[in-house]
Amino acid sequence: MRMALIARDPGVVREVWAKTPPCPTPERVLDRLAAMITELGGAEPAAGLVLGIPGLVDADTGVVRINANLGWRNVALADAARDRLGLSTMIQNDVRLHTLGEWRFGAGRELTPRQTMADVVIGTGIAMGLVRGGQLWDTPESGEIGHITWNRDGIRCGCGKTGCVETMVGAKALTRLFREQGLPADDFARDVVGTLQAGQPESLALWNQFCRALAFGLSVVILVLHPDLIVLSGGVAQSLSWWKPMLMKALEDELFLGSLSQVRLATSTLADRAPYLGGMSLLLDAALSR
Task: Please check whether residue 101 lies inside any domain of the structure.
Answer: no
The pLDDT tens digits of the residues spanning 145-182 come to 999 999 999 999 878 899 999 999 999 999 999 999 99
Q: Tell me which of 37-51, 87-101, 111-125, 222-236 is least confident.
A: 37-51
Q: What is the pTM of this model?
A: 0.90
The pLDDT tens digits of the residues spanning 102-121 come to 999 999 999 999 999 999 99
- Provide the residue range defining the domain that includes 141: 107-268
Co-location of 115 and 258 in the same domain: yes
**Domain tally, the chain:** 2
Segment 243-247 shows an average pLDDT of 97
Q: Tell me which of 115-119, 139-143, 199-203, 224-228 is least confident.
A: 139-143
Co-location of 168 and 227 in the same domain: yes
> What pLDDT does 228 receive?
96
> What pLDDT does 10 receive?
66
Task: Please check whether residue 100 lies inside any domain of the structure.
Answer: no
Co-location of 144 and 240 in the same domain: yes
Segment 247-262 shows an average pLDDT of 92
Q: How many CB atoms lie within 10 A of CB 20?
A: 11
Residue 88 sits in a domain whose CATH number is 3.30.420.40
Name the maximum alpha-carbon separation found in the chain: 58
Average predicted confidence (pLDDT) for the chain? 92
Residue 251 identity:
L
SS (H, E, C) the chain: CEEEEEECCCEEEEEEECCCCCCCCHHHHHHHHHHHHHHHCCCCCCCCEEEEECCEEECCCCEEEEECCCCEEEECHHHHHHHHHCCCEEEEEHHHHHHHHHHHHCCCCCCCCCCCEEEEEECCCEEEEEEECCEECCCCCCCCHHHCECCCCCCECCCCCECEHHHCCCHHHHHHHHHHCCCCCCCHHHHHHHHHHCCCHHHHHHHHHHHHHHHHHHHHHHHHHCCCEEEEECCHHHHHHHHHHHHHHHHHHHCCCCCCCCCEEEECCCHHHHHHHHHHHHHHHHHHHC
> What pLDDT does 69 receive?
75
Q: Percent of the chain, pLDDT > 70? A: 99
The pLDDT tens digits of the residues spanning 60-86 come to 999 999 887 788 999 999 999 999 999
- Euclidean distance between CA atoms 170 and 178, whole angstroms: 12
